Chains A and B, each alone.
Chain A
């Protein structure tokens, strides 16, 4: 199938389709090579990377919840140096847009990581200021407009790559943070990260997850995500990568109508590893059926009057 109606260019990143995969749900892309044409994706937001290796949280890390799941992996990753020296050269052959999701313990560390990743083979940097599962996951930067802006400035000062800020839904006013990041020079915004949640086993009276709380994702969060994408899209002029509970092409269409210029699929990759290809096919069919020349014609076209 031709993807002509889906070609997209955002901040200089040429995308075969505006369908990406969300960080933490798709490894480094290579794990899904049996199921997905990785070069057909708009990009792979790879597993959250930190300055030093992290072993993540102990105990149970994942549990299914009604129409979704909770996780508390805790940013387990081999560190940026292993990523640069081993992972990046290994995944080059897939010719996908590699978007590196980074978390820092300090504003300076975001700048340092962004600088280290300003290399060939990296398409963009995604700033994770919204991991609910670790203290150093940046959530302190993601819940305050000034701190989020400082992280954006630090990254922008150290890289020529497009900088995407990933917004947390665990805030009172997501729009104020989005606007502060745009003003600080963010090239794009991605939203939403997981919603903080918790499950208790009523027999043992213990939390299911080893870290007590975790990040809620899956179809159950989609209405929250659509609402936040819509609100943010009213307030900023930079492109939005919408995500949160997308598991079929119909969900993706909603995000475009709400104002997203691209979408990312997360939890649904666990349910069906090839789901992103089905979503691309479904978007093509939808555009053709409705005589819409290009996916860009859908962006922000929700009618609220």
Chain B
């Protein structure tokens, strides 16, 4: 058996196997991409290309799940603009361009990490939770109980699930940062890391609380991208180690390196 080259990126036209609307304007898209399923790490992303001439730029989307046996990769995205709307209109059997796997993912060496996510940031955390196979718990934040579908996606992955909603219609009323200190300070708490993906304001708040509890914290950043390969510098950011590219050096960074 030859081991897959973990750093090799591919650009393929992948056949769509499933396209399902999970909630209003939120879609789950699965494609046949065995090369990417074999090597993609939790927290990595791909650049999707709608195979139609009017799209010049690709759309970055996190890997939400992989099925190595079937050679399939799943993404969850919100249809918010022209590109994602066109993506949502694609049917099983049609093709979409997939470039990846890209970037660096989350640390996978922790024994009991707490995953914290909000909104579409929960998508890459699904793959992280699956890879940790029950060793990771998840704290998810949403606006209302309408975002219940995420709890159903996380339920089969093992681990405990904690929920906050802005309006209190599900779980604890408030933000993830409202509940996080309680979780980290609970008598039986044994978290050794906090892995976060969501709106930047949420990630900053979570990182602050993690730091106060002496826990390593990794955050997944989002920036407009061009190439996805570290060449065009559309997604450059300031870090403790100078300028870095979200697409190549991230999207996952230690919180203290990027929230200066």
Report whether over half of chain A's contact residues are helix, strand or loop; otherwise say mixed: loop
Do B56 and A64 touch (CB < 8 A)? yes
Q: A34-B10, A73-B233 are in contact. Are A271 and B225 (CB under 8 A)?
A: no
Do B57 and A64 touch (CB < 8 A)? yes
Do A66 and B54 touch (CB < 8 A)? yes
Within 8 A of B (CB), among A124-178: none
Q: Which of A55, A71, A269, A272 contacts B97 (CB 8 A)?
A: A272
Q: Mark A59-99, 1 if CB is under 8 A from B, else 0.
A: 01111111111010100100000000000000000000000
Interface residues on chain A, number (Cβ under 8 Å) = 34
Indicate whether B243 reaches chain A with its CB closer than 8 angstroms. yes
Do A32 and B234 touch (CB < 8 A)? no
Give A272 to B57 CA distance when docked, in angstroms: 9
Residues of chain A lying within 8 A (CB to CB) of residue B233: 47, 56, 61, 73, 76
Q: A34-B8, A56-B236 are in contact. Are A271 and B224 (CB under 8 A)?
A: no
Indicate whether A24 reaches chain B with its CB closer than 8 angstroms. yes
* B60 smallest CB distance to A (angstroms): 12
* A259 smallest CB distance to B (angstroms): 26
Within 8 A of A (CB), among B228-244: 229-236, 238, 243
Give A215 to B196 CA distance when docked, in angstroms: 35
Residues of chain B lying within 8 A (CB to CB) of residue A76: 233, 236, 243
Indicate whether B49 reaches chain A with its CB closer than 8 angstroms. yes
* B95 smallest CB distance to A (angstroms): 13
Of B8, B10, B229, most buried by chain A (CB within 10 Å of CB) is: B229
Q: How many A-B residue pairs have CB under 8 A?
A: 91
Indicate whether A31 reaches chain B with its CB closer than 8 angstroms. yes
Chain B residue with the shortest CB-CB distance to A28: B231
Give A25 to B236 CA distance when docked, in angstroms: 14
Give A267 to B227 CA distance when docked, in angstroms: 9
Do A270 and B56 touch (CB < 8 A)? yes
Do A27 and B231 touch (CB < 8 A)? yes
Residues of chain B lying within 8 A (CB to CB) of residue A60: 224
Within 8 A of A (CB), among B159-209: none
Q: Which of B9, B49, B82, B231 contacts A271 (CB 8 A)?
A: B49
Indicate whether B216 reaches chain A with its CB closer than 8 angstroms. no
Residues of chain B lying within 8 A (CB to CB) of residue A272: 11, 49, 97
Give A115 to B236 CA distance when docked, in angstroms: 29
Chain B interface bracket (under 10, 10 to 19, 20 to 34, 35 or more): 20 to 34
Q: A272-B11, A273-B99 are in contact. Are A31 and B227 (CB under 8 A)?
A: yes
Q: Which of A34, A61, A67 contacts B56 (CB 8 A)?
A: A67
Q: A60-B224, A62-B224 are in contact. Are A32 and B54 (CB under 8 A)?
A: no
Residues of chain B lying within 8 A (CB to CB) of residue A65: 56
Give A35 to B99 CA distance when docked, in angstroms: 10
Residues of chain B lying within 8 A (CB to CB) of residue A218: 56
Q: A63-B224, A64-B83 are in contact. Are A273 and B229 (CB under 8 A)?
A: yes
Do A73 and B8 touch (CB < 8 A)? no
Indicate whether A219 reaches chain B with its CB closer than 8 angstroms. yes
Residues of chain A lying within 8 A (CB to CB) of residue B158: none
Indicate whether A274 reaches chain B with its CB closer than 8 angstroms. yes
Residues of chain B lying within 8 A (CB to CB) of residue A66: 54
Add 20 more A-B contacts to A25-B227, A71-B226, A272-B11 (CB < 8 A): A24-B232, A27-B230, A28-B231, A34-B10, A47-B231, A55-B238, A55-B243, A56-B233, A61-B236, A64-B82, A71-B232, A71-B234, A73-B232, A76-B243, A218-B56, A267-B56, A270-B226, A270-B227, A271-B58, A273-B229
What are 15 contact pairs spanning A and B, CB under 8 A? A25-B232, A31-B248, A32-B229, A55-B238, A61-B224, A62-B57, A62-B224, A62-B225, A63-B224, A64-B55, A69-B57, A73-B232, A219-B56, A270-B57, A271-B55
Q: Enumerate the 9 nearest inter-chain pairs by beta-carbon distance, A residue then B residue, closest first.
A: A27-B231, A62-B234, A31-B231, A31-B229, A64-B57, A34-B9, A61-B234, A218-B56, A270-B226
